[in-house]
Structure 1
């Protein structure tokens, strides 16, 4: 009887570590006055942007730093929760109020956020796969499909 090879789940740092790293990144960005903490994607890598959404319940502005790729004039990110289950709050806010503010290394502007679907989602997921070779393994840790989010520029903020 053949023995099936054991499949190993990809290693993820503990949730407390991920949350601490996010808090540290936001602090560096804030303390530096926005001069440190955002960058453009490099060949084979992702960039970092600051996304500000409107709270779906409070109506207050909420900001988060996210990784992204460029797709023509659009920016593309993944609505993951540190690869944990559940939707991140910024994604729930964006679905309720799709007009957002983006701050990137290129400047600040308004954008319209939406989920990529069908062939567009497949193409953009493939782009992320080129940057992160274990993307599918990480995504398999989640119970639901990870949304691919497209941010379409609208103009100056």
Structure 2
């Protein structure tokens, strides 16, 4: 059986959901993972993504990096079209509203995220696109 730390994408999401995060919540380098559920802007279908997150007050932070590509991740484009999302952390699934961190908030939030995943700084250097920090607030 493959360790959840070796999983990406759909297989990671499936293992996480099957085990309520028992397998998949903890990922590489001590990071923690949530599952973000968005609505496809074209299909209207539910989409799910395993993302590194950190708590920030009563909210949760994720980074729309897509490894530093020039195009943003599809989940980010979807939540821009419809910021009503669902989040699952371990066995708890709840509704949330997604928003991009303001320019005043971002430096502190970015630092918090690069503390657990320093590669975000390298991803930002690879693209002219400003990589956003997304704030997920319980609805």
TM-score (norm 1): 0.74
Long gaps (5+) in structure 2: 1-6
Aligned to 2:124: 139
Contact 1:66 1:77 (8 Å CA) reproduced: yes
Q: Which has the higher helix share?
A: 2
- 1:24 and 2:14 matched: no
- Please give the root-mean-square deviation of Cα atoms over the aligned residues, in Å: 2.3
Deviations 1:49-79 (A, max 9, x none): 0111011111111111111010011000001
1:102-113 to 2 correspondence within 5 Å? 102-105=87-90, 107-113=92-98
Query: Distance in 2 between the 1:26 and 1:105 partners?
Result: 11
Aligned to 1:90: 75
Aligned to 1:77: 62
Decide which moves more: 81-90 or 113-122: 81-90
For this pair of structures, how many residues does the alignment match?
Answer: 132
Query: Distance in 2 between the 1:51 and 1:122 partners?
Result: 23
Query: Distance in 1 between the 2:20 and 2:54 partners?
Result: 24
Contact 1:38 1:49 (8 Å CA) reproduced: yes
Query: Distance in 2 between the 1:126 and 1:79 partners?
Result: 15
Long gaps (5+) in structure 1: 1-19
Aligned to 2:40: 55
TM-score (norm 2): 0.82
The Cα of 1:47 is off from its aligned counterpart by 1.4
